[in-house]
A and B are shown apart, each in its own frame.
Chain A
């Protein structure tokens, strides 16, 4: 698979895509190397490992990693594999440990990854093993942004701040509206199902189109039971929404009414009163536009390639690929630290009921993605292209002075998906970070467009 092939797989001018990108093992392996091997990937939230020795076992692409809080409170991440014969070092999901002892021959590693103990070191190795050369393989870079910890395997990658670029302006609506900031609550909901990892990501990143039909069942009962849909002082009206992208492939699907995130809460009043009480603080900290329009509304934020953060609906999700046709999807509930405990519990429960394993929204989506993935096993089928071509040549893309990025009005608009795949193509076809363009707003996006 060379650069030329990658460029032929997707045509962003027409929205055409080859279905091979959801199926071919070769493309998948290149994704592991070039996408997951180069992009900043979400590891954990600060609050999940507050104390020295706290650890969290997760994945960067298919690579299993162990994220560990150090004595000096900094964070390191290591491949979760023993440097002797390759066994797994840590089998627990999370916890606290002073050291990690491999269950195969008993080598032990410190929280800093160093090899500290080797059974029979004298008798069997005659003290000739240079332990300093056998520490755990460290993830090249670890950095955090306002509580979100990311790792990157590529020493040449731009800084996390530069990588995030203008999406920080939207992210701050959750991370920085309140002085204490944000946290994740609840244990990890893990779901494995048979989809290509890009299917759910492209859906949440821009697909307002499916909501009315795929979710017709839950939307109907929500409306008929008077659950939300009209909260605060506004209706959740799609015409108030915007699709925002550019931003190096990161994107937002935003509703701009300041309340709509709570539309699916059986009793939104608890959340509304929290929003009303603290609205002035949010406006002080974020300015009038974000404080009034975005804080409390729903934003689907996608951090390229596989992290999604939905302030308002209040969940954060990372998609771990498991081969071209399978993922493990991990979800947590997001809250602001200042929220009262009963509101936090209500948010956690509502997240689980709407977007968890038995979540009434998630449960509508899964099988659509499964089929869109599975059918590509047919040779003839995968020669057929698929399209993200809604309004592709209508020139809807524009800039708005009050918000960064490339903006299109409305949530039913396939602009975000096109930019997601444009980024996919840029990263996949580049030899190194030096070849990957950098753009945020419309002019930059146009100027850096390839071909």
Chain B
């Protein structure tokens, strides 16, 4: 990631507009309105989250020699496939409906590479409660590119850092 200035230089109106998009997105995901969520994504969206590895600090460069395994490395087709799997009604782990809440915070907005784009940083905390008291909380930091397309602003790229050394749940039937 290129170095970003300390404070967000965009005006309040832009900031609030993008913050509003992130909150709306969180609401759609919580409510399982996945088709509406897909509409928020550009057709060439790249949605990816590598599995982290712990190296000694002085060895981080060495890390580059390993190919990432990605928990997600999806384009729109794959995201649609995940949604249509869910819609079959045969994903037993999601029935009954589970408690799912996306808490979005640490939002910062920067101008993008080109005029019609913004780089948006955020952190999402995902709370899941399935059977009885079984609870899982996951924290993912996100670097997004949001892009103006006509009268909409769409998510064109989401680069996620999974802030856990081990995936702490038996499934990730969710989006971050």
* Residue B8 at the chain A interface, CB threshold 8 Å: no
The stretch of A62-70, A185-193, A398-406 in contact with B is: A185-193
> A190-B51, A216-B90, A225-B81 known; A348 and B170 CB under 8 Å?
no
Question: What is the minimal beta-carbon distance from B165 to any residue of chain A, in angstroms?
Answer: 7
Question: Given A220-B90, A364-B92, A358 and B53 touching (CB < 8 A)?
Answer: no
The A-contacting residues of B in range 112-134, CB under 8 angstroms, are: 130-131
Q: Is the CB of A360 within 8 A of B85?
A: yes
Of B52, B55, B93, the contact of A363 (CB 8 Å cutoff): B93
Question: Which residue of A185, A216, A369 contacts B170 across the interface (Cβ within 8 Å)?
Answer: A369
Q: Is B12 an interface residue (CB 8 A)?
A: no
Q: Are A349 and B70 in contact (CB under 8 A)?
A: yes
In the complex, are the beta carbons of B172 and A217 less than 8 A apart?
no
Distance (Å) between the CB of A63 and the closest chain B CB? Answer: 18
Contact of B171 among A96, A352, A363 (CB under 8 A): A363
Flag whether A95 is at the interface (Cβ < 8 A).
yes
Q: Which residue of B lies closest to A186 (CB)?
A: B69
The docked-state distance in angstroms from the alpha carbon of A91 to that of B91 is: 38
- The reply to whether B85 and A218 contact each other, CB–CB distance below 8 Å, is yes
A225 touches B69 (CB 8 A): no
Complex interface bits, B63-78 against A, C-beta within 8 A gives 1, otherwise 0: 0001111111110011
| B8 nearest CB across to chain A (Å) | 31
Q: Which residue of B lies closest to A370 (CB)?
A: B170
A93 at the interface (CB under 8 A from B): yes
Digitize A72-116: 1 where CB-to-B-CB distance is under 8 Å, 0 elsewhere.
000000000000000000011111110000000000000000000
Residues on A with beta carbons closer than 8 Å to the beta carbon of B131: 371
| Cross-interface CB contact of A187 among B50, B73, B74, B92, cutoff 8 Å | B50
B85 CB to closest chain A CB (Å) equals 5
A contact residues around B74 at 8 Å (CB): 353
Total residue contacts A-B, CB cutoff 8 A = 140
B11–chain A nearest beta-carbon distance, Å: 37
Q: Is B93 touching A364 in the complex (CB atoms < 8 A)?
A: yes
Residues on A with C-beta less than 8 A from B82 are 360
Interface string of A336-356 (1 = CB under 8 A from B): 000000001100110111001
Whole-angstrom distance between the Cβ of A193 and the nearest chain B Cβ: 4
Asked whether A266 is an interface residue with its Cβ less than 8 Å from the other chain, the reply is yes
Judge if A40 is at the interface, Cβ distance under 8 Å.
no
Set of chain B residues within 8 Å of A363, measured between Cβ atoms:
91, 93, 170-173
Q: A92-B59, A353-B78, A366-B170 are in contact. Are A187 and B84 (CB under 8 A)?
A: no
Whether, in the assembled complex, B168 has its beta carbon less than 8 Å from a beta carbon of chain A, the answer is yes
In the docked arrangement, what's the CA distance between A441 and B93, Å?
39
Closest Cβ of chain B to A24, distance in Å, is 22
B88 within 8 A of A: yes
Name B165's contact: one of A95, A190, A220, A225 (CB within 8 Å): A190
Given contacts A94-B53, A360-B82, contact A352 B70 (CB under 8 A): yes
- Asked whether any CB of chain A lies closer than 8 Å to the CB of B56, the reply is yes
Is B167 interfacial (CB 8 A cutoff)?
yes
Is B169 close to A, CB under 8 A? yes
Does residue B62 face the partner (Cβ distance < 8 Å to A)? Answer: yes
Q: Is B3 an interface residue (CB 8 A)?
A: no
Closest to B54 in A: A93
Q: How far is the CB of B141 from chain A (nearest CB, A)?
A: 17
The minimal Cβ–Cβ distance linking B93 to chain A, given in whole angstroms, is 5
Over the window 81-104 of chain B, the binary record of Cβ atoms lying under 8 Å from chain A Cβ atoms (1 yes, 0 no) is 110111011111100000000000
Residues of A within 8 A of B52 (CB): 187
Q: Knowing A220-B90, A266-B77, A367-B130 touch, does A193 contact B67 (C-beta < 8 A)?
A: no
- In the complex, which of the residues A92, A194, A221, A352 contacts B85, with contact meaning CB atoms closer than 8 Å? A221
Q: Say whether B93 contacts A358, CB under 8 Å.
A: no
- How far apart sit A424 and B127, CA to CA, in the bound complex (Å)? 39
With an 8 A cutoff between CB atoms, is B166 at the interface? yes
Closest to B170 in A: A366
A349–B73 touching, CB < 8 Å: yes
CA distance A218 to B87 in the complex (A): 10
Taking CB atoms, residues of chain B closer than 8 Å to A240 are none
Closest CB in chain A relative to B73 CB, distance in Å: 5
In chain A, residues 309-365, which have Cβ atoms closer than 8 Å to a Cβ of chain B? 328, 331-333, 344-345, 348-349, 351-353, 356-358, 360, 362-364
Query: Could you say which of B69, B86, B165 contacts A356, with CB atoms under 8 Å apart?
Result: B69
Q: Can you pick out 25 interface pairs between chain A and chain B where the beta carbons lie within 8 Å of each other?
A: A93-B165, A95-B59, A97-B56, A185-B67, A186-B51, A186-B67, A186-B69, A187-B68, A191-B169, A191-B170, A192-B167, A193-B169, A221-B88, A224-B84, A225-B81, A225-B84, A266-B78, A356-B69, A358-B171, A363-B170, A364-B91, A364-B171, A366-B93, A366-B169, A370-B170
The 8 closest A-B pairs by CB, nearest first: A366-B170, A186-B69, A363-B171, A216-B90, A217-B90, A193-B170, A358-B172, A357-B167
